[in-house]
Structure 1
Amino acid sequence: LIITNDNPLRLMQKQNFFQKYESPTWSDFPKEAIDPVLGPRYRNVIIGIVYNKSGIKPADAPKSLADLVNPKYKGKLVMPDPTQHTTTTQWVTSLHKVMGKEKADKYIRDLAAMKPIMVESLLPAAERVTTGETPIAITYVKYAFIFGKKGAPLDYVRVPKMLGDGHYIGLAAKAPHPNGGKAFIDYFLDNESMKIMASRGEFVNRKGVYPPLPGADKIGFIEMEDLSSKEFAEKKKEYQQIFLR
């Protein structure tokens, strides 16, 4: 069994690495979240704007991605480095899916002009917001809940569509114990397991199950672009010219 995000699984799928197993649990997931071989996209790992309410009053927080590049937020934003962090490379590359290509091309340059503080990944970005060191972050939305449970005054910006990664569980074509693997998949995707996962802040796709985060049921998930190794290298080089000037 392999449980991970979409991009590496797609590469493995092209090599016929997986066998199809149609678990009875498939009917409990939306049809649009089901891959014909990998099965249900069991969770969405969503990237958005998280902010510290002690550093930015909710009334003064950005209301959209477009708001985020308002000059008044310059020096107040942290994000992972899109020239180094692959998930952020995907996120920047996929912005056209929520705003169109022309607007996305301009937005990427406007975002770079904000001179955001660059960190190595999404967790350090969230940690800087949690401590108040930087009041606004581009990071996983789930961190607003996870760090909020620990007392951090965090919230996230509600926008109708958010980009992110889909995660799947796949059964290897040459699994030594396929029946055991199928039994685990049935358990993993059932209501109890998905509720446990959601209770920890994960955006699972089982129908009617949501994380305890206000507005979680209103978020429209848009899966990010799948990039090849060559495309990742090209995009990282392109973003070096934009973000590191």
Structure 2
Amino acid sequence: MLMTPLSRLFTSSLLALLFILPKVQAQPVDVDAAKREGKVVAYGTIIPKIMGALHQGFEKKYGIKVEYWRASATKVMDRALTEWRAGKPAFDVLFAIHGAMLLMKKEGMFTQYIPPSSESFPAHYRDPDGILTSWRVTPIGILYNTELVKPQDAPKSLDDLLNPKWRRKIGMPDASRHTSTAQFLWNLQKVKGEKWLDFVKALAKQEPHLMESMAPVPNAIVRGEVQVGLTYLQYVIQQKGPLGFVQLNKFLTDSNDLALSSKASRPSAAKLYMEYACSPEGQQTLAELGEFVLSPAAPPKIKDAEKVLANLVFMDNPTPDQYKKLTAQFRQIFFGN
């Protein structure tokens, strides 16, 4: 079939684009160079006792020491941004929720690197720029103390938290300080539509016990300071004690991303760390401890986890300006100032 001038022009332009635009591909790691560097510094949001298992395996396999600093996503981002803007970033690799990583990506803090093992993950998680590597998801739900609350009496939905019997018995992060919780409450519009803000205001009237981040919530539930709480589902087995979780119809979630610092002092060790975290060995280690990792071969060791995975709703990410407005709005709602 003869090509028209217009079709020839389109075809030649398309071919030109294919040559101009490089395909982002996974990159092999120089293991010998990583071993010579001898150490990697990682900032992240997973509690140390969980990451300790991953780091133990990494250090045993490669003889490279891991220096790990953990905090909430908000604090990880604040520290990393402060160091970056001062020209003295101390981290080689960083991981946090997708929204926080996007904000730091826009600052130019990360450079392109795709761990080879991540290519087995579902394609829709891939960053087209090859800078962020999603490696786990973090569903948010309701946990409860199984010694203080019988299963039949536990909330069956988010709306059940508004029952007067839960007044002053709910634990949750402070959305005016914790970006992930601000994102969660804002994204309730995905499951509640226009009534999401009415729900938040009603939840505030329950006078929940507000905490710094997700991590302290299960501790408070186990100690009996509160009976139920909004937090990450993986804590149901990561925190020792009488904990159960509610099987909701929908679970809001976000991906958690790894990224290589643009100014990493130990780039080869950082790449190897990222590759190990995405490897079948690393993913299985975390799945055994309740993490919702992305490897299809490593389901989390949580009862009925498959039902959770089937009902995930991925959250949108507010812009920096939206975050500022949301934190001010939630401060007014929960504190009246």
**Superposition TM-score tier, normalisation by shorter sequence:** 0.7 to 0.9
Structure 1 window deviating more from structure 2 (52-61 vs 170-179): it is 170-179
* Residue aligning to 2:235: 143
* Residue aligning to 1:121: 213
User: Do residues 185 (structure 1) and 274 (structure 2) align?
Assistant: yes
Counterparts of 1:121 and 1:16 in 2: how far apart (Å)? 26
* Residue aligning to 1:86: 179
Is 1:38–1:168's contact at 8 Å kept on the other side of the alignment? no
Structure 1 window deviating more from structure 2 (161-170 vs 219-228): it is 219-228
Between Structure 1 and Structure 2, which shows a larger proportion of helix residues? 2
Is 1:49–1:136's contact at 8 Å kept on the other side of the alignment? yes
* Structure 2 length-normalised TM: 0.65
Q: What is the aligned counterpart of 1:63 among 156, 161, 170?
A: 156
Q: Which secondary structure state, in structure 1, belongs to the residue aligned with residue 218 of structure 2?
A: helix
Unaligned runs of 5+ in 2: 1-91
User: Do residues 112 (structure 1) and 204 (structure 2) align?
Assistant: yes
Structure 1 window deviating more from structure 2 (166-175 vs 59-68): it is 166-175
Structure 1 window deviating more from structure 2 (69-78 vs 172-181): it is 172-181
Counterparts of 1:11 and 1:123 in 2: how far apart (Å)? 22
Counterparts of 2:167 and 2:329 in 1: how far apart (Å)? 22
Counterparts of 2:324 and 2:132 in 1: how far apart (Å)? 30
* Residue aligning to 1:244: 335
What amino acid does structure 2 have at the position aligned with 1:196?
T
* Residue aligning to 1:11: 103
User: Do residues 52 (structure 1) and 141 (structure 2) align?
Assistant: no
Flag the 1:78–1:15 CA change in 2: closer, same or farther, 3 A. Answer: closer
Q: How does 1:11-30 map to 2 (within 5 A)?
A: 11-30=103-122
Is 2:276–2:282's contact at 8 Å kept on the other side of the alignment? yes
CA drift at 1:119: 2.3
CA drift at 1:181: 4.3
Is 2:167–2:207's contact at 8 Å kept on the other side of the alignment? yes
Is 2:168–2:207's contact at 8 Å kept on the other side of the alignment? yes
Q: CA RMSD in A?
A: 2.2
Flag the 1:191–1:236 CA change in 2: closer, same or farther, 3 A. Answer: same
* Structure 1 length-normalised TM: 0.87
User: Do residues 223 (structure 1) and 290 (structure 2) align?
Assistant: no
Fraction of identical pairs, as percent? 33
Is 2:93–2:270's contact at 8 Å kept on the other side of the alignment? no
What amino acid does structure 1 have at the position aligned with 2:172?
M
CA drift at 1:177: 6.1
Q: Which secondary structure state, in structure 2, belongs to the residue aligned with residue 35 of structure 1?
A: coil
Flag the 1:55–1:32 CA change in 2: closer, same or farther, 3 A. Answer: same
* Residue aligning to 2:256: 167
Q: Which secondary structure state, in structure 2, belongs to the residue aligned with residue 54 of structure 1?
A: coil
CA drift at 1:10: 1.0
Q: Which secondary structure state, in structure 2, belongs to the residue aligned with residue 122 of structure 1?
A: coil
Deviations 1:78-110 (A, max 9, x none): 21221222222221112112322x121221122
Counterparts of 2:265 and 2:238 in 1: how far apart (Å)? 37
Greater length-normalized contact order (CA 8 Å, ≥ 6 residues apart): 1
| Structure ID, larger Rg | 2
Counterparts of 2:146 and 2:298 in 1: how far apart (Å)? 27
Flag the 1:59–1:22 CA change in 2: closer, same or farther, 3 A. Answer: same
Deviations 1:99-129 (A, max 9, x none): 22x1212211221122212222222221110
CA drift at 1:218: 1.9
Counterparts of 1:98 and 1:78 in 2: how far apart (Å)? 21
* Residue aligning to 2:89: none
CA drift at 1:140: 1.7
What amino acid does structure 1 have at the position aligned with 2:95?
T
Flag the 1:117–1:183 CA change in 2: closer, same or farther, 3 A. Answer: closer
